[in-house]
A and B are shown apart, each in its own frame.
Chain A
């Protein structure tokens, strides 16, 4: 039997205290009926004797302590799912907002999911060709990976994410794919950029959108990514699709979390974020992957804007500890006009080693990748030195490295948002650039590959 309570005692910020309840469970979903008949949702944060503390998912405006009624539904927050969600637009609470009919759910799933048993995971190792050299060649993405983009305000992360969504493919397979896109507190324009890009390429029919805009209730942002991931899990693990999940912007999510934590007067960790931010983020990011008993996969690209471009800020910092690498965008490259402005050196893909090489990309991939990294690093150091001391102070070999670094930025990184390079094109371009340096410098590549792939300039 479901009872209704008119015993709301307090409302403060996103929190509400209900007294004299019976049989209410932790993490249960509640529904609040306002005097005007409107229904809002909430979730139990704490059971304390006969009192429960609940967190509202929507704004508390119009809530009336005397007249509003609360009832608890007996289950957690759930999302009705079906394959027909593809091509539809939902709000942050999972309700259709595109004017279409409600979907007929196959089942309802708890949005918190449950952790994947590490013994049941497959290690991600299938190469995804994104067509972006800095990713394919240097920070290779594989199916089931979670690879965030660390960006800053004003940097074109949206363009890069859209480019990946547009171009990404696993070569030699045409399995079912889908995109799940969650807009978390971003502006209309930014959301619209993605939607129109998906429309332009026709990907919209294979896309599920969850939209929480900057103007929507901040507190709804806590559920938005979980809604999206629940839909993604259904499509991936029950419909065997390969799902690419784009979450933007995680910073807004973490701020909503901080709001609730502050309202509960919890002891804060760094910069006022709750001490459990790591665990909380992990329960989202770790939902990516591949697992036994299913053909599908979830590949995740969360986007977050680093406050003040500071990588040590808790949000990028904790994200970096959970995700399998990161693509970092650089303001310096952006100012130089190099697109996508990827900061190559601190970017990383942890899963690349098992996704490249013979049978996946090409035998020389690992060697050239390491060679490009270290040569570019040395070239950048030489250039820094050049700024202080002038070109004359460099040794001849360092001068070549500086020249290499320039060419690398100009041609390898700066490919634009519309060029789609195959992995062979990327690798060959790498060799062409490396040939600026003397062949004896190729210490990180096996001699037989240098022999095989070293560009034969003399003949031309």
Chain B
């Protein structure tokens, strides 16, 4: 145990002397209150310590004790449905222990030490194991089977493995390591958060992560194992997009990191998710969710740690062969925490005061995502998708955090305040957003939804692009100057925007749309356009076409329950035919 004394306190930064023997990035306990901190710099026998709790009350000479271990998370049964702070302290347990406000220096184990879990071995005595091999399973929630794995880098032979009900720290068996020593097997393992968990091989992502959000799935899809960012000014609906992804994405597990954001938003997730059912499993969404909440009023240093805590937990589940999504809201707050610490350390600042290593840190975070072959003998595959919100100051995406993020991620969902003002939600701007997975996922959509998927989604994008070109003309000389065909394109683009892209997260039927219904919606819009085009060339006035009663039915198609959308589709198509034919015959007459 290295023990030193405080020399300097400045906000979350503490400098202690007498720390020559301590390691970089060791966790230390600071002062009488045993606050948790981490060594981030060493100068001779002085250590600069980032303290994860409020430092008020610390002074010169207070004791600093190193724990000799880096900042780690506990991984084992009990993670799911939990809500943790940035350094994996369980907030629910803290509430029961010290009331509704967060007190300092609380020691509370991340995993419940008293709860017993039923362990079923899948290996037997005498089997040889390597890191990643599955000893057995614990049914953690109704939907997630927790695989108890041999920690990475271990190798040995099982000498004891007994089924039964265990606490996370109990011995469930023993293995003989290669050097002949015996080691206990427990349900729980620990892993340092700043080190990526190993995998056997990385694979290119080829399968979409289906979100049920039409703008995302159809126009700017993300792959399982991919990375995406959602920048947007305040009020543009970043958080709603993130919540929607957490709710509806077709992954096995979601780790939601509230990093320096509003307390009420985390509460919303905490209260709402248990009541929502997962459309795929029919079980509560909470049963596949882990929450990390380091709200904006909680200590800033723990905010820096929170995204590492979150992604390490996600990697652990990926190693079991699951598809996991990490959703971080917001990486800008994390970058600000970096900036604050950097300022206190008196480092030379880069752009806008952010440290020069901002880009490399961001890249390290996003690079932990990916589709991989997990370690272990059975070559199972897991995927980790990372989605980060970015909160650019003043909505200006030329600022350093957004720019650094854009250089790394493959999908950009740019939120637009002017769309939000018009209450076009999700306010994803179709002109500047992009997905580099579109081509790669084409095959999957073609096989699993429809051969015409890429044609239709491409047509949506093209029509919207044409609309923006035509809009310039309209603004200068008015709608009358456009040809009938162009006016029809404007109508069609309006229909794509209003009848397809706009999606109300708070309407039961509209909140999630299955892929085949998404396809049907596009089909309907283009069916109408094609028929209308024919009518226009027969001499029908565009004004009359846009005033047809069937337009309202197309608009309401999104609210049609999934069970009967097919009959409704046929019936609307029929009405389109009838009404347009009437117009055509009226012209001819």
What's the Cα separation between A120 and B353 when bound, in Å? Answer: 35
Is B296's CB under 8 angstroms from A114's CB? no
The yes or no answer to B297 lying at the interface (CB within 8 A) is: yes
Binary interface encoding of chain B residues 402-445 relative to chain A, with 1 for a CB under 8 A from any of its CBs, else 0: 00000000000000010011110000000000000000000000
The yes or no answer to A26 lying at the interface (CB within 8 A) is: yes
- How distant is B365 from chain A, measured CB to nearest CB, in Å? 20
Given contacts A119-B270, A443-B555, contact A114 B102 (CB under 8 A): yes
Is B298's CB under 8 angstroms from A24's CB? no
Binary interface encoding of chain A residues 86-123 relative to chain B, with 1 for a CB under 8 A from any of its CBs, else 0: 00000000000000000000000000111111111111
Out of A121, A320, A395, A443, which one reaches B263, CB within 8 Å? A121
Is B297's CB under 8 angstroms from A346's CB? no
The yes or no answer to A363 lying at the interface (CB within 8 A) is: no
Residues of B within 8 A of A326 (CB): 234-235
User: Looking at A26, A118, A287, A377, which has the most chain B CB atoms within 10 Å of its CB?
Assistant: A118
Out of A47, A345, A370, which one reaches B421, CB within 8 Å? A345
Is B343's CB under 8 angstroms from A267's CB? yes
Binary interface encoding of chain A residues 123-162 relative to chain B, with 1 for a CB under 8 A from any of its CBs, else 0: 1100000000000000000001000000000000000000
Segment from A54-62, A269-277, A333-341, A451-459 that makes contact with B: A269-277
Is A117's CB under 8 angstroms from B101's CB? yes
Segment from A3-11, A190-198, A250-258, A288-296 that makes contact with B: A288-296
Is B83's CB under 8 angstroms from A118's CB? yes
The yes or no answer to A63 lying at the interface (CB within 8 A) is: no
- The chain B residues found within 8 Å of chain A, CB to CB, are 6-11, 54-61, 83, 91-92, 94-95, 99-103, 233-235, 239, 258, 260, 262-264, 266-268, 270-272, 293, 295-298, 300, 333, 336, 339-340, 343, 349, 352-353, 391, 393-396, 417, 420-423, 474-480, 498, 504, 506, 543, 549, 551-552, 555-556
What's the Cα separation between A447 and B549 when bound, in Å? Answer: 14
CB closest chain-B residue, reference A120: B100
Residues of A within 8 A of B10 (CB): 26, 45-48
Given contacts A27-B55, A266-B343, A388-B475, contact A46 B235 (CB under 8 A): no
Residues of B within 8 A of A282 (CB): 260, 295-297
What's the Cα separation between A312 and B343 when bound, in Å? Answer: 24
Enumerate 11 A-B pairs (CB-CB under 8 Å) in ascending A order: A24-B59, A27-B55, A47-B9, A115-B101, A118-B293, A279-B260, A283-B297, A286-B296, A294-B100, A348-B235, A395-B479
Is B270's CB under 8 angstroms from A118's CB? yes
Is A116's CB under 8 angstroms from B100's CB? yes
What's the Cα separation between A328 and B76 when bound, in Å? Answer: 48
User: Looking at A121, A318, A395, which has the most chain B CB atoms within 10 Å of its CB?
Assistant: A121
What's the Cα separation between A117 and B10 when bound, in Å? Answer: 25
Residues of B within 8 A of A393 (CB): 478-480
The yes or no answer to A389 lying at the interface (CB within 8 A) is: yes
Residues of A within 8 A of B394 (CB): 311-313, 317
Extra contacts, 4 of them, besides A27-B55, A115-B297, A443-B498 (Cβ < 8 A), are: A120-B91, A286-B295, A317-B393, A440-B552
Residues of B within 8 A of A289 (CB): 263-264
Out of A28, A123, A293, which one reaches B264, CB within 8 Å? A123
Residues of A within 8 A of B293 (CB): 118-119
The yes or no answer to A84 lying at the interface (CB within 8 A) is: no
Is A119's CB under 8 angstroms from B417's CB? no
Is A275's CB under 8 angstroms from B353's CB? yes
Number of A-B contacts (CB under 8 A): 216
The yes or no answer to A76 lying at the interface (CB within 8 A) is: yes
Is B95's CB under 8 angstroms from A119's CB? yes
Residues of A within 8 A of B60 (CB): 23-24, 47, 49-50
Given contacts A276-B340, A292-B100, A393-B479, contact A115 B95 (CB under 8 A): no
What's the Cα separation between A111 and B556 when bound, in Å? Answer: 53
- How distant is B357 from chain A, measured CB to nearest CB, in Å? 15
Is B57's CB under 8 angstroms from A26's CB? yes
The yes or no answer to A34 lying at the interface (CB within 8 A) is: no
Residues of B within 8 A of A417 (CB): none
CB closest chain-A residue, reference B268: A123
- How distant is A257 from chain B, measured CB to nearest CB, in Å? 13
- How distant is B504 from chain A, measured CB to nearest CB, in Å? 8
Residues of A within 8 A of B235 (CB): 320, 325-326, 346, 348
The yes or no answer to A321 lying at the interface (CB within 8 A) is: yes
Given contacts A115-B101, A269-B352, A320-B235, contact A23 B300 (CB under 8 A): no
Residues of A within 8 A of B295 (CB): 115, 118, 282, 286
Given contacts A123-B267, A270-B393, A286-B263, contact A25 B56 (CB under 8 A): yes
The yes or no answer to A374 lying at the interface (CB within 8 A) is: yes
Is B340's CB under 8 angstroms from A291's CB? no
Is A27's CB under 8 angstroms from B56's CB? yes
Given contacts A114-B102, A321-B391, contact A366 B506 (CB under 8 A): yes
Is B396's CB under 8 angstroms from A124's CB? no
Is B100's CB under 8 angstroms from A115's CB? no
CB closest chain-A residue, reference B240: A350
What's the Cα separation between A266 and B346 when bound, in Å? Answer: 9
Is A278's CB under 8 angstroms from B480's CB? no
- How distant is A320 from chain B, measured CB to nearest CB, in Å? 4
- How distant is A296 from chain B, measured CB to nearest CB, in Å? 12
Residues of A within 8 A of B272 (CB): 123
CB closest chain-B residue, reference A396: B543
What's the Cα separation between A366 and B506 when bound, in Å? Answer: 10
